[in-house]
Amino acid sequence: MITENLPILLVVIPLLAAPLCVLLRQPTLVWGFATLVSWMVFAISIQLLILVLQDGTISYAIGDWAPPWGIEYRIDPASAFMQLVVAGIGAVSMVFAAKSVPHEIPERRIYLFYTMYLLCLTGLLGIVVTGDAFNLFVFLEISSLSSYVLISLGHDRRALTAAFQYLIMGTLGATFILIGVGLLYMVTGTLNIADLSGRLPEPAPRTSLVAFAFLTVGTSLKLALFPLHLWLPNAYTFAPSMVTAFLAATATKVSVYILLRFFFTVFGVDVAFFDLPVGDILLPLAIVAVFAASTVAIFQENVKRLLAYSSVAQIGYMILGISFATVNGLTAGIVHIFNHALIKGGLFMALGSVFLRLGTTQIDAMAGLGRQMPLTMAAFVAGGLSLVGIPLTSGFISKWYLVTGALEKGWWLVAILVVLGSLLAVIYVWRVIEAAYFRPAPAGAAQVKEAPLAMLAATWVLIGANLYFGIDSTLTVGTASRAAEVLLGLEI
């Protein structure tokens, strides 16, 4: 009974829990409740992944209205993998939030914060599990609106403008996606994603070409693909630490998932990548994203902002893998979604601990911090190495598949550029390490303590997972390559 209804429970539990937070109000109580919900959701997501890997794609008809007439929740390997990432990061973030949120959010707003967080979680999970294009848009709006609020709760007043800018651009992106979905409905008369793919006429009429263009630009905006990334640095920099860690690890990744869905499931790899030159446009944009954003990251003075730009670069790697439209390329893209979620989640959490103790994340203020916060900074170093792609970290696995994918196509230059891009990552990660370990603490700086246990634990869970999946990549690469095969239509 419960097993059958897991797909809907995954979304409904956090959705219903959100308003309950408003009723509870008392900050600690709300935190405990939201944590419980997050971990329940995480448990469900693990169960779902196991089911999908065992029995293949799960289809769940809401209210027993058979698809394509009713709304269908459809979990294939790609969505199973994504919902695990989102739910897992959500659960770990809540542990981190225990000490971080009371420090950064005024007490009277904490219950609203967790309400918004649960809504955001609902939206992200909904996008991933739904099999209905319009339902996807609704969940996208739920997650977006709640993340605007979450960002605006940052301690700095600039968080408000950052959230507003994100709101405008996010809405623009969502509108584009809606227009795309509407045009597809015009052509086919259906909104079910699986159904859509069968009903698109060949060769594609102008209407579906326009739909495709709107969907490409809309998702590119949501996933912050260069040059549409302008909302991201400010949003990540000024958001509360826990929000940055959570959103950086999940929100853009889910948008990449939307892109995968529309490109591969709806239009199909033949239309999107062989009839239309989408790969030829995404590839240069991805490479420019890697180099431009990494170079900007090198010169940043605020480490949070530095990592935000690094995220833009890392999204470039994901899109690069996707633009190959081969099994290895897609595997690289999808596995990097997972690995990068662990890396950036861990890094932003380490920075959250730094912010808790120092009250700033400026690189100069972090001088000599290696001795004062050894565990936090060790986590940062380990995460940084993974970001660079050193062997035995999960970042290496992603780079390996990316380079293999490029070589397989005979694109030498691209393979070399990927490796050179990692060298830029060495520089910006090194700047932080250099400050923390090789420079003396600034004169007159107060002696600070190591971060509280809960924050350290959350950080190290992600960093530890990151090292673990660098050595034993059976789960990540296995699931990602199955997802890639399903998306490419090689396996049903």
Partner 1 sequence: MISLIPPGLVLVAGGFLLPLLRNPWRGWLMLALPLLTLWMVWLIPDGPVLSGAFLDYTVVPIKGDALSRLFATVFVIMAFAGAIYGLNQDKVSELAATFVYAGSAIGVAFAGDLITVFVFWEIMAIASTMVVWSAGSQRSYQAGMRYLAIHLFGGVVLMSGIVAYVGETGSTAFVSMSIPLTVDSVGAWLILVGFLINAGAPPLSAWLPDAYPEASYTGMVTLSAFTTKTAVYVLLRGFPGAEILIWIGLYMAFYGIIYALLENDMRRILAYSIVNQVGFMVAGIGIGTEMALNGAAAHAFTHIIYKALLLMSAGSVLFMTGKRKCTDLGGLFQSMPITCVCGIIGALSISSFPFTSGFISKSMISQGAADQGLTVAWFMLTAASAGVFLHAGIKFPWFVFFQKDSGLRPPDPPLNMCVAMVLFAFLCIAIGVFPGPLYALLPFPVDYVPYTFSHVITMFQLLLFSGLAFFLLLPQMKRTLTISLDVDWLYRRLAPAVIRRFGEVFVPADQRARKMVLIRFEKFVAGIFRHHGPQGILARTWPTGSTVMWVAVLLGVYLVFYYI
Instruction: Return residues touching partner 1 (CB under 8 A).
Output: 165, 168-169, 172, 176, 206, 209-210, 212-214, 216-217, 220-221, 227-228, 230-231, 233-234, 276-278, 280-281, 292, 295-296, 298-301, 309, 390-392, 397, 400, 403-404, 407-408, 412, 415-416, 419, 422-423, 426, 438, 471, 473, 477
Tokens of 370: 């290696």
Task: Pick between residue 12 and residue 392 the one whose CB is nearest to partner 1.
Answer: 392
Peptide bond into 240 cis (omega under 30): no
Task: Pick between residue 192 and residue 220 the one whose CB is nearest to partner 1.
Answer: 220
**What is the distance, to the nearest Å, from the Cα of residue 59 to the centroid of all Cα atoms in its chain?**
24
Question: Residue 150: exposed, middle, or buried by beta-carbon count in 10 A (0-12, 13-18, 19+)?
Answer: buried
| Distance from C-alpha of 475 to C-alpha of 228, rounded to nearest angstrom | 33
Task: Pick between residue 83 and residue 481 the one whose CB is nearest to partner 1.
Answer: 481
Tokens of 170: 């996010």
DSSP code per residue over 307-376: HHHHHHHHHHHHHHHHHH-SHHHHHHHHHHHHHHHHHHHHHHHHHHHHHHHHS--BTGGGTTHHHHSHHH
| Distance from C-alpha of 263 to C-alpha of 271, rounded to nearest angstrom | 9
To partner 1, the closest distance from the beta carbon of 113 in angstroms equals 25
To partner 1, the closest distance from the beta carbon of 250 in angstroms equals 22
* Residues 330 and 322 sit within 8 Å (Cβ to Cβ): yes
To partner 1, the closest distance from the beta carbon of 337 in angstroms equals 18
| Distance from C-alpha of 54 to C-alpha of 47, rounded to nearest angstrom | 11
| Distance from C-alpha of 386 to C-alpha of 396, rounded to nearest angstrom | 7
| DSSP 8-class letter at 227 | T
To partner 1, the closest distance from the beta carbon of 211 in angstroms equals 10
To partner 1, the closest distance from the beta carbon of 258 in angstroms equals 16
To partner 1, the closest distance from the beta carbon of 425 in angstroms equals 12
Tell me which residue of 35, 167, 45 sits closest to 101, measured CA to CA.
35
Task: Pick between residue 117 and residue 166 the one whose CB is nearest to partner 1.
Answer: 166
What residues contact 405, with CB distance under 8 A and at least 6 apart?
321, 324, 326, 328, 329, 331, 332
* Residues 178 and 170 sit within 8 Å (Cβ to Cβ): no
Range list of H helices, 153-203: 158-188, 193-199
Q: How many other C-beta atoms can be found within 10 angstroms of the C-beta atom of residue 186?
A: 13
| Distance from C-alpha of 124 to C-alpha of 61, rounded to nearest angstrom | 20
* Sign of the four-CA dihedral 478, 418, 315, 348: positive
Task: Pick between residue 8 and residue 408 the one whose CB is nearest to partner 1.
Answer: 408
To partner 1, the closest distance from the beta carbon of 332 in angstroms equals 12
Tokens of 385: 């190495």
To partner 1, the closest distance from the beta carbon of 150 in angstroms equals 19
Tell me the three state secondary structure of residue 132: strand
To partner 1, the closest distance from the beta carbon of 453 in angstroms equals 23
Tell me the three state secondary structure of residue 58: strand
To partner 1, the closest distance from the beta carbon of 169 in angstroms equals 5
432 conformational bin, left if phi > 0, alpha if psi -120 to 50, beta if neither: alpha
To partner 1, the closest distance from the beta carbon of 151 in angstroms equals 14
Task: Pick between residue 86 and residue 335 the one whose CB is nearest to partner 1.
Answer: 335
Tokens of 356: 């808790």
